[in-house]
Amino acid sequence: MNLLSAEDLTHTFEYELFNSVSLNLDPKESIAIIGISGSGKSTLLHILSTLLKPNGGRVKIFGEDIALMDKKRLTKIKRDDLGLVFQSHYLFKGFSAYENLEVAAMLSKQNIETPLLEHLGIKECIHQKVTELSGGQQQRVSIARVLTKKPRIIFADEPTGNLDKQTAGEVMSLFFEYCKNNNAGMVLVTHDEVLAQMCTKVYKLQNKELVRIK
């Protein structure tokens, strides 16, 4: 069964962003979505991750149409199974990095794994307040928070946008490893063509269509 599928999605804000968008994500797979600024990549990611209702079409998670799910079921799936790494981090600012992870661990009944903190290079700063961390450190804490949940599907919008090339590469390998080892899948929005090519499938949003290029 697919982790995620989209059938015939359309969406319009002031003008039509895209129509007849379809894709499937299987366990251990990663999908990259590329396209010029303003083409609708983030909007599509919001729709796929249940945050925004499309004007047309269906999104299914684990084979279930999310528009037909009762609210409780959808809330549970969002809490336990979906991991969102977006451009703004939404960390709790008054807390330390570690406390932010504790909240995630508690909500999803998982443990905070020290190797994860080591791999992300945030072990040393983990007890500092979020407001005392650099942008790139905050980004890595938010990635740690998402992975601590042990999600089945990761949605990532330019997750390494604030990071230098080397750190970005390490963080992305972590995502790929995570998917392989946990039967999870990832939808990644990126402007980085090299990074996109590391994914199982690559799609380009252009001329209002989602075209598969790998």
Ligand X SMILES: Nc1ncnc2c1ncn2[C@@H]1O[C@H](COP(=O)(O)OP(=O)(O)OP(=O)(O)O)[C@@H](O)[C@H]1O
| Least separation in angstroms between CB 161 and Mg ion | 10
Q: Nearest-CA neighbor of 66 among 86, 84, 83, 46?
A: 46
| CA pair distance 207, 192, nearest whole angstrom | 20
Residue 128 binds Mg ion, judged by CB under 5 A: no
Q: Which CB sits closer to ligand X, 40 or 54?
A: 40
Which residues make up the interface to ligand X (CB under 6 A)?
13, 17, 35, 37-43
Residue nearest to Mg ion (CB): 42
Residue 161 binds Mg ion, judged by CB under 5 A: no
The residue assigned the tokens 């499937």 is 24
Give me 20's structure tokens: 């007849």
From 10-18, 39-47, 71-79, 126-134, give the range in contact with Mg ion by CB under 5 A.
39-47
Q: Which CB sits closer to ligand X, 41 or 89?
A: 41
Residue 42 binds Mg ion, judged by CB under 5 A: yes
**Contact (CB, 8 A) for 140 and 171:** yes
Q: Which CB sits closer to ligand X, 19 or 110?
A: 19
201-206 and 56-61: which strand pairing? unpaired
Q: Nearest-CA neighbor of 23 among 40, 44, 39?
A: 44
| Least separation in angstroms between CB 40 and ligand X | 4
| CA pair distance 142, 125, nearest whole angstrom | 13
From 38-46, 69-77, 95-103, 203-211, give the range in contact with Mg ion by CB under 5 A.
38-46
